[in-house]
Structures are given as structure tokens and as C-alpha cells.
Amino acid sequence: MSIVFSGQAGQGLQTLEAITTKLFKRFGYHVFSYSEYMSRIRGGNNTTQVRVSSRRVASYTRRIDIFIPMQKDAMRRFHDRITHETVIIGDRAFIEERYLEGHYPVIEVPLTALARDAGGAVYGNTILLGLLSALFYVDRQLMEEELRTFFSSLEEQRLQKNLHAAEIGYEEGKKLLKPGQAAISIEHSEGVERELLMDGINAVGLGALAGGCTFVSSYPMSPSTGVLVFFTQKAGRSSVVVEQAEDEISAVNMAIGSWYAGGRALVTTSGGGFALMVEGVSLAGCMESPLVVHIGQRPGPATGLPTRTEQADLLFVLHSGHGEFPRAILAPGNIEQAFALTRHAFYLADKHQVPAFILTDQFLLESRYNIPELDTSKVYDQPFIVRTEKDYRRYTLTESGISPRGVPGFGAGRVRTDSDEHDEQGFITEDFGMRTAMVRKRLKKMDGLMEELLPPAFIGPEDYENIIVCWGSSYHPVIEAVEMLGRKDTAVLHFSQIYPLAPDIAGYLSRARKKIIAESNATSQFGRLITCETGMDFDLRILKFDGLPLMPEDIYDALNGQLL
Amino acid sequence: MASLYDFDHEIDIAWCRGCGNFRILASLKNTLSELELDPDTVVLVSGIGQAAKTPQYLDVHYFNGLHGRSLPAATAIKASNRGLTVIAESGDGDTYGEGGNHFIHAIRRNPGITNIVHNNMVYALTKGQASPTTRVGFVTPVQPQGVTEEAFNPLAVAVSLNAPFVARAYAGDEEQTSEILKKAITHKGYALVDIFQPCVTYNKVNTYQWYKENTYYLGEDYDPCDRPAAFAKALETGKYPLGVIYINDDRPAFEDTLDAYMHDTRPLYERTIDLDGIKRLMDSLRT
Ligand SMILES: Cc1ncc(C[n+]2csc(CCOP(=O)(O)OP(=O)(O)O)c2C)c(N)n1
């Protein structure tokens, strides 16, 4: 079931999203939610999709089963997504004429008037919650409990009014359940109520903590700011140093400074902010400093669409930084991976002394759904810093290219690090032999990164005809599309590590008769990278770049009739 | 005079004969020795330029980062290990030009670091272009008609931002420069020491002779805690005042305001992962 609330900024859609997903999950339904919203604080038109299901759901769908208009103009942007099967529930005043002519299932509920009676417009959302609870057979008692938890910071009188409003909504909803009216049947699943309900922001934040993050310096930029806020709010009072820098240049140079002094630093930004950080990436490359960069992608160029989503910074991140040095780029496909790979990024960066990137996007960061558990068994504790001896050399030439990393104040050695080309001790040098040795040493670390490469996830039959390649947050939409198609001859190959790229990709591709790639950008950046590395081309590229997430239906439509 | 900070081998220094940088290096070594700091805990942080090479020439830990970025790095180093003595040292171009934004915000943020700026009023390493502190009329290969921009006044900016410690020194006077540096390093919070540095190759106007004739030391009767007076001193031209221009003891150092040290005073490198804390956060997402 896909419910879409359509209102304006400032109308409390976020609260509604939070409380409905919590309540439905508590009742045992699988839930997913995602909001698409404009870059403004008031007005405009924003919508939230909440999916309620008996199975796990993790993608944003074009399909809308229930549409709830909450403002004038709430439907204008949705004519192509409201079908004759979409039930429209709400105030007559907010329903456009064309839907009132009897061809669409419309259930008029005087929400505005009910809210007025309940004490004011602010109670409108609670009434809606009550109404939906009744429609989805959520236990009334449970609803009340959830409201009490959710509104625990409100004073008693306001809480009572909310409870009352929910009751009103619940009664309205029950009226709709009369025979012949709407009826929803979703099985609820055992154990879901104890699952984690979280978004990508929390997953990246928790992953960083599990990776031993002790320092965060950043400059706000949607959609990455949530991760910065995670550290000041959720992880507040913990042992992480958090600073809002004056700009991204400062943020990244702070992060490298912190690593030098023994911190484990993260910067979180978006493409535009990362553009300013690029000099720092190169600095980390030269200094052989670990560095963890989280980039929440949004559509560019320039300021682009600040609150929307895209996967168009892949090649930028891959090629960022002047000069030649190794790096690792990870692109989580879902919330579990956002956690695990952020942790992994700290491990890779620290062990191999390279910049490691976590490439997410607004869709992944801001979509929220329930997951059974996060695997916290793989936590590691700072094994990579050494106590220095008197004759310590920061850049000792080694077989692996990795030199033991000391920090100032821990041991008797001097820790010298330089952005100029340097000798083993870290002093500036222009010796051509040393230069050559240092370049080789830095690049040698690529071998170590290759050894720890995360293989792509292969989903589907061994004897496939068609293969669909995707990366990052496109994972769930592609999987769901293939399920919709019901094809037994089609496999999905998902990459959560973009660089270094798995060498066996050519094998996977060559076994398919039709090679397809799906990604959220206009020029098929990952496809081009694969072609560059393997020489193999794709037969079909499914590309989306309007600012909305890739939807299963986009892929379904594009594949229909195209598969062998 | 040999010091703890000398190397026991010859070093190849990239400065011109007679460069003011030699005098600043000597003053700094002298200061560090006299302060009897544990050399294992002294970190020099610099950007890029002739001045920014200073850390290479004394036996210390150093972070020789990017042009203009010494202050963010120094701030983070101090915030990651409060036990370190952190000195950010670069030229006027590096600190006030490329790093101008960081200069402003470092003073606002107030990390407990000393910021030494070798102010030679020119970009030396890149061969003589104008810097933010170059005086109007100064002719360079890139400003052949002479500089027209108003010179940047670091001291006035620092006083206006209420920096805890603001001083000006003259490289030619090692003894006084050392005294000023000593006060700066031992002062709590951010300390700026802008040092007039003759550049013998690219600045034939502001020479040793010129600085001698155009500077004077503030007297015993000068009160650096008087902010309006300090501001007036910072604005003085013609003859430039040397010494400690402004002192303000009211501001807490950045690293001491951090939550991360409220319940745990250990430097970051000694910390381990708080798995229970992570699990608690996860549990809060279950309900
Ligand atoms: C991003 C960047 N831009 C430009 C340069 C070139 N550059 C190196 S040092 C310098 C100016 C140096 O002037 P200053 O900081 O006053 O130091 P000085 O050499 O005079 O001691 C410039 C422009 C650089 N290294 N990096």
C-alpha cells in the first residue's frame, strides 16, 4: 500500500511521516517512507510517501494507492501518478474538479472542519493519523500509546487534545470500513515491532561511530547536513569532537589535521561542498593521511536541485584531486550497507592511509524503513597507530607501500608530514630518485586495496540471459522492478564498491546476452567507468535525472519488451 | 648557540642570504628552548611559501600542509590532542591572502595555538607579486603600475575580533622577538604574532633599514588590556608600534569548550569505540 500525503512546507508532513511509520511498524507492518520536497521553508508543495506492507519495502514507487491532498494545488504535480485505482481521501476543497466527476474513488472527509473542532489546524495531522490507523486496523490502544510516547514532551493538555483528535480520526476511519467501502488487508509480521526504523542519515552516523570516528568537521549542505546533526544531537555528549567549519576547505583541512594528531575524522558534504574540498583530497593523497569523506549526492551542476536526488558525482569523486594516488569509493545500496560501509571506510582509510569515500544520495539518506538488525560484531579498535621510536621515519619505504603511522606525542620519534614531495623522514626533497620511489610507494597501496575489494552482489539465476547492473541507492528499485517483471532469466549485479572496481565484472557481463545498466544520472557514469575498465558496452541504459529517485516502475517500463 | 631544537647534521636551507626568516627561526628556537617545553609535544603547522618552510629547519613534529590552510589544520591538531603545543607559522600571503577566511574564523573560534606570520609584504616563493600587506604604490611584475589595494591590517582585524593576544615583532630584533613569542606561546587561546620580515630579494622598499626607521616599541606605560587603545595602536601607520598590542583573558579556548572533553580528558588517539553507546543509539530507533 502506498499512501501519499501532499501538503506545503511548514504543515507538519515530517511529523506525520515519523509518527505513521513508527506506529505502523509497532503494529507489525513493514514500512517505508520518503519525502520529496522543495528547497523552501514555507509554502510550495511537498509530498511524503509512506508504504505499508506485509513484505519488506525499500523503494519509492510511482504507484499511489491512497492520495491525501492537504492543501489547494496538492494534486497538480500528480496527475500522471493518480490513477483510477488511487483512492483520494480528504477535504473536498483540496480535491481537483476532474477527480470529483465520479471516475475516481474519492472519499470526502472534512479534515479541516474536524481539526477546527478538535482545537485548531495543528490537530489535522493527528486526525489523519487516527483515520489511517482505523483504515489499517491498527489497534486503538497501540495508537494511543504511540501518541503518548511521541508527544511525551508536550504538556498534558496538548497531549490530551492530540489523543482526542486521534480518536476523532479513528471514528471517521471506522465509518469508512462499512461494507462496500475501502478495505485494506495487510498481514502483519512477527517481530517487526522490535526492528530498527531508521534512515540513511542515522546509518551513516552509526557506521562512523562503529568505525571509531572521533572528529567531524563540516559545513552544512543538503542532503549531507543530517549526518553532522547526528553527531551533535544523537551522539552528543559522546567523545566525538564536532565543529561546523567556516567553509568546506577548512573542514577538510581540519579533518586531515585531526588524523595527523590521532583523531579519526569524517567530513560530510554534498557535491558542491566537495568541490571546495578537492585540494584536501590531494593533500591526503600526498601526506598519506587517512581521510573519510561522506558525500550525499544531489542534482547539479552548481546549486542544482538542493533537496532532491541524483547519482551524478561518481566520476567527479573518482577523479577528484590533482596528481596520482590511490583511493577507495564505496556506495551503499541500502541502510544496512550505509552502516557497514561507513564503518568499512574508516577501516580502509586508516589501514591503507588513503582517502575513502562514502557516496550516498538524498534518496538513501532520507528514506526510512525497518530493518531487522545492524551487525555490530565487526568493530575494531585503533590498531593502526604505532608508538614511535627515536629514529622514526613517517614515510619508510616498504613492500606494501604502507608505512607505520605515528602521531605526535606518542613515542620518542618526530612525526613530519608534508604536502611537498618528501623523503622517508618527511622532509621536502627534490631528489628524482626519491620522488620516483615515493610515487611508486603511494600507488603500491592500490594492491592492498584490491585485496580487500568488496565483490558486487549478484542476485538471480546462474544461467541468466539479461543482466542489470546498478550501484549505490539504485539497488532496491532495480530489485523490485525485476520482481514486478517476474522474469526467471534476469539477474541483477549491484556494486557497493565503485573503486577499485571488481575485476570479475567482465565475466559477469560476458555471460549475459543483454547487458543493461540503471543509474540516476544523464550520462551513465558508472556504465562509462565499466566500459573504460573492461571495454564492454551496454545494450540499454536506463537513466533518470529529473531529481526524483529511480522508481521500480521506471525500470519496469524501460525493460518491458526489451528483455530477451 | 646550540639548542634542543637543532639538528645534529647539516641542513640545506632554501632561504636567501640575509633573509629575515633566519632571524625568526633563531628567535623561535631560542623561545622554545627557554620555555623548556617537552620537544616531543611541540608541533609546527605551516602552509606553503618561504616562511612556511620554517618547520623543516628545527627538530620538531610538523604538519606542512597546503597553501593558506595552516590554521584549520592547527586548530584540529590542538582539538585532537590538547597536550600538544601547536604553532601555526606561515607567510603573510599564506595567512592573510589564501587563508584569509580561516584567519578571521580561527580568531573567532579561538583555539589555543600561536600563529606566527612572517610578514615580508610580498609573495617571495612565487617571485615577488603583491601580498595582502603590500603597501600602496609597490611595483611588482604583476602590479607594474603599483599596488592600488588598501593594505590588509592584521592587527586591527585581530583586535576587532577580540583575539586573546595580538602582537607585532620585528625579525631584526631577535631578543625582543623571542620575548614576544614567549608571551604568545604561554598565553591561553589564540595568539597572533605578526613579524615584520625583511625580504632581501623581492622587497627593496621595506628593508632592515626601513623597519628600523619606521617602527618603535610600545612603552612600559602602555596597557594592552585597553581595547580602544589597542585598536588605535593597531591603526597607527607612519611609525609602526612593536610589542604586545592587545591582551584579552576572557575567552575560553576552543578545545576547552568541546563536549568531547567534558567527561573524558584523554586525547583522541587514546580513545576506543563505545560499543554500548552505539547499541543504545540503535535501541532508541526500535521504538
Ligand atoms: C593553492 C595554491 N595557490 C598558489 C600557490 C603558489 N604559492 C606558493 S607560496 C605563494 C605565496 C607565498 O607568499 P607568502 O605566504 O607571503 O610567503 P613567502 O614566500 O613570502 O614567505 C603562492 C602564491 C600554491 N602553492 N598553492
Within A230-270, residue ranges assigned H as helices are 248-260
CA A285 to chain centre: 26
3-state secondary structure of A150: helix
Q: Is the pLDDT of residue A381 over 70?
A: no
Cell (9 digits) for A380: 575494531
* Contacting residues for A152 by C-beta, under 8 A, at least 6 apart: none
A27 pLDDT band, cuts 50/70/90, is very high
Q: Whose CA is nearest to atom 1 of ligand 1?
A: B67
Q: Is the pLDDT of residue A541 over 70?
A: yes
pLDDT at residue number A155: 92
Task: Tell me the sheet residues that pair with A30.
Answer: A53
| pTM listed for this prediction | 0.97
Are B101 and A246 inside 8 Å of each other by CB?
A: yes
pLDDT at residue number A380: 64
Residue range B85-103, pLDDT digits in tens: 999 999 999 999 999 999 9
pLDDT at residue number A382: 58
* Average pLDDT taken over every residue of chain A: 95
Give the number of other CB atoms < 10 A from CB of residue A161: 18
Section B117-134 average pLDDT: 97
For the CA of B199, the closest atom of ligand 1 is 20
Contact between B190 and B159 under an 8 Å Cβ cutoff? The reply is no
pLDDT at residue number B145: 96
Measured distance CA(B183)–CA(B191) in Å, rounded: 9
Contact between B239 and B214 under an 8 Å Cβ cutoff? The reply is yes
Measured distance CA(A196)–CA(A126) in Å, rounded: 23
Superfamily of domain A2-194: Pyruvate-ferredoxin oxidoreductase, PFOR, domain III (3.40.920.10)
Name the residue of chain A whose CA is nearest to B282's CA.
A196
3-state secondary structure of A432: helix
pLDDT at residue number A11: 86
**CA of B101 relative to ligand 1 center, distance in Å:** 16
pLDDT at residue number B92: 98
**CA of B136 relative to ligand 1 center, distance in Å:** 20
DSSP state of A520: S
Mutate to test the interface with B, among A416, A417, A431 (most CBs of B within 10 A): A416
Cell (9 digits) for A173: 476511519
Residue range A432-450, pLDDT digits in tens: 999 999 999 999 999 999 9
Are A206 and B40 inside 8 Å of each other by CB?
A: no
DSSP state of A232: I
Q: Whose CA is nearest to atom 13 of ligand 1?
A: B123
pLDDT at residue number A235: 66
A236 pLDDT band, cuts 50/70/90, is low
A378 pLDDT band, cuts 50/70/90, is confident
pLDDT at residue number A296: 98
Residue range A176-186, pLDDT digits in tens: 887 666 578 88
Amino acid at A491: A
Residues having CB within 6 Å of any atom of ligand 1: B 48-51, 67, 90-94, 118, 120, 122-126, 131
Q: Considering chain A, what percentage of its residues have pLDDT values greater than 70?
A: 98
* Contacting residues for A531 by C-beta, under 8 A, at least 6 apart: A537, A538
Measured distance CA(A315)–CA(A451) in Å, rounded: 23
Measured distance CA(A564)–CA(A110) in Å, rounded: 51
**CA of B80 relative to ligand 1 center, distance in Å:** 27
Q: Whose CA is nearest to atom 22 of ligand 1?
A: B126
A466 pLDDT band, cuts 50/70/90, is very high
The secondary structure element, H or E, covering residue A47 is: strand A43-53
Q: Is the pLDDT of residue A456 over 90?
A: yes
Are A263 and B275 inside 8 Å of each other by CB?
A: no
For the CA of B118, the closest atom of ligand 1 is 21
Measured distance CA(A209)–CA(B278) in Å, rounded: 7
* Contacting residues for A490 by C-beta, under 8 A, at least 6 apart: A460, A464, A465, A466, A467, A468, A482, A563
Place of cell 608508538: A387
How many A/B residue pairs have CB atoms within 8 Å? 202
Are A407 and B45 inside 8 Å of each other by CB?
A: no
DSSP state of A501: P
Are A243 and B79 inside 8 Å of each other by CB?
A: yes
* Contacting residues for A493 by C-beta, under 8 A, at least 6 apart: A456, A457, A458, A459, A467, A468, A469, A470, A505, A508
- Select A457-559's CATH number: 1.10.357.10, 3.40.50.300, 3.40.50.10310, 3.40.50.920: 3.40.50.920
Give chain B positions within 8 Å (CB) of A195. Answer: 286
Section A525-530 average pLDDT: 98
Residue range A198-221, pLDDT digits in tens: 999 999 999 999 999 999 999 999
Least confident range of A173-182, A284-293, A417-426, B261-270: A173-182
- Region of A401 (left: φ > 0; alpha: ψ -120 to 50; beta: rest) is left
Half-sphere exposure of A324 (CA within 13 A, CB side): 11
Task: Tell me the sheet residues that pair with A5.
Answer: A48, A68
**CA of A411 relative to ligand 1 center, distance in Å:** 33
**CA of B95 relative to ligand 1 center, distance in Å:** 10
Q: Whose CA is nearest to atom 24 of ligand 1?
A: B67
Are B274 and A379 inside 8 Å of each other by CB?
A: no
Place of cell 592547527: B74
* Helices A552-559 and A475-485: angle between axes, nearest 10 degrees: 50
CA distances from B136 to A458, B133, B140, B145 (A): 67, 9, 11, 10
**CA of B50 relative to ligand 1 center, distance in Å:** 8
Q: Please state the domain extents for chain A.
A: 2-194, 197-371, 457-559
Residue range B10-46, pLDDT digits in tens: 999 999 999 999 999 999 999 999 999 999 999 999 9
CA dihedral sign of residues A455, A460, A466, A472? negative
Section A305-313 average pLDDT: 97
pLDDT at residue number A167: 96
Place of cell 551524478: A312
Number of H helices and number of E strands within chain A?
Answer: 17, 21
Section A374-388 average pLDDT: 83
CB-CB: which of B62, B78, B270 is closest to A416?
Answer: B62
pLDDT at residue number A177: 83
Chain B segment 52-91 residues within 8 A of A by beta carbon are: 53, 55-56, 59-66, 69, 71-81, 83-84
Amino acid at A404: P
Task: Tell me the sheet residues that pair with A50.
Answer: A3, A33
Nearest to A92 by CA among A111, A115, A67: A111
3-state secondary structure of A260: helix
pLDDT at residue number A180: 63
Q: In what order do the strands lie in the sheet with A514-519?
A: A457-459, A490-495, A466-471, A514-519, A540-543
Cell (9 digits) for B232: 588605535
Give the number of other CB atoms < 10 A from CB of residue A322: 12
Give chain B positions within 8 Å (CB) of A253. Answer: 65-66, 69, 72-73, 76
**CA of B119 relative to ligand 1 center, distance in Å:** 13
Is residue B281 less than 8 Å (CB to CB) from chain A? yes
Q: Do domains A197-371 and A457-559 have the same CATH topology?
A: yes
Section A414-418 average pLDDT: 98
Residue B191 Cα, gap to closest chain A Cα (Å): 19
pLDDT at residue number A179: 66
CATH number of A197-371: 3.40.50.970
Give the number of other CB atoms < 10 A from CB of residue A136: 20
A322 pLDDT band, cuts 50/70/90, is very high
Measured distance CA(B82)–CA(B76) in Å, rounded: 10
CATH number of B20-285: 3.40.50.970
Residue A370 Cα, gap to closest chain B Cα (Å): 9
Nearest to A257 by CA among B19, B160, B75: B75
pLDDT at residue number A163: 95
Give chain B positions within 8 Å (CB) of A198. Answer: 285
Residue range B171-185, pLDDT digits in tens: 999 999 999 999 999
Are A237 and B83 inside 8 Å of each other by CB?
A: no
Amino acid at A196: L
Buried b (16+ CB within 10 A) or exposed e, A19-30: bbbbbbbbbbbb
**Mutation test of ligand 1: which of B23, B25, B126 has the most ligand atoms closer than 8 Å to its C-beta?**
B126
Nearest to A367 by CA among A206, A228, A199: A199
* Contacting residues for A233 by C-beta, under 8 A, at least 6 apart: none
Residue A175 Cα, gap to closest chain B Cα (Å): 30
Are B262 and A237 inside 8 Å of each other by CB?
A: yes
Q: Please state the domain extents for chain B.
A: 20-285
Section B221-240 average pLDDT: 97
Half-sphere exposure of B227 (CA within 13 A, CB side): 11
Is residue B102 less than 8 Å (CB to CB) from chain A? yes
Query: Can you give the three-state secondary structure of chain B, one letter per residue?
Result: CCCCCCCCCCCCCCCCCCCHHHHHHHHHHHHHHHHCCCHHHEEEEECCCCHHHHHHHCCCEEEECCCCCHHHHHHHHHHHCCCCEEEEEEEHHHHHHHCHHHHHHHHHHCCCEEEEEEECCCECCCCCECCCCCCCCCCCCCCCCCCCCCCCCHHHHHHHCCCCEEEEEECCCHHHHHHHHHHHHHCCCCEEEEEECCCCCCCCCCCHHHHHHHEEECCCCCCCCCHHHHHHHHHCCCCEEEEEEEECCCCCCHHHHCHHHCCCCCCHHHCCCCHHHHHHHHHCCCC
CA A535 to chain centre: 30
Is residue B40 less than 8 Å (CB to CB) from chain A? yes
